[in-house]
Amino acid sequence: MEATAALLKDRDAVKTIVAFVSNDARDEFLRRVEDFGADQAFTLKTSPTRPDGRHFLIQMWREDIDIILLNPFNDPTEFRIHFYLNESAAAPVTAIDGLAAGLKETFRNISGVTLRELN
């Protein structure tokens, strides 16, 4: 997780969404994140960040946009979803708005998932 934080420390997230995911909804949430990433042509990497099986770092990237999902907090139900424009490919900010809307729709019918947009 430190390597990802180091890579992104000089970049501000264009958009951040907080997802509160109940313990019962975690597996479905993670599965849908992976499905969404595959559907949107992202390369994905999921890594546990603690040995408890409840804390994760999910990296999704493609030429124009990076998305980082993580729940580094003591409360494993709080995930932060950060959207970044890749500076090497000039994607419009509206591309992130569309992806964020699609990701929110992906989670809409999961009981135990609540979303809040920070910016």
For 62-102, write each residue's pLDDT tens digit. Answer: 999 999 999 988 899 999 999 999 877 777 888 999 999 99
Side-chain half-sphere of 1: how many Cα atoms within 13 Å? 13
Q: For residue 4, what are its two tokens?
A: 């990802």
Contacts of 71 (CB under 8 A, 6+ apart): 21, 49, 54, 55, 56, 77, 78, 79, 80
* CATH fold label, 2-117: Double Stranded RNA Binding Domain (3.30.160)
Q: What is the pTM of this model?
A: 0.87
Question: Phi and psi (nearest 5°) for 43?
Answer: -85, 135
Q: How confident is the model at residue 6 (pLDDT cuts 50, 70, 90)?
A: very low
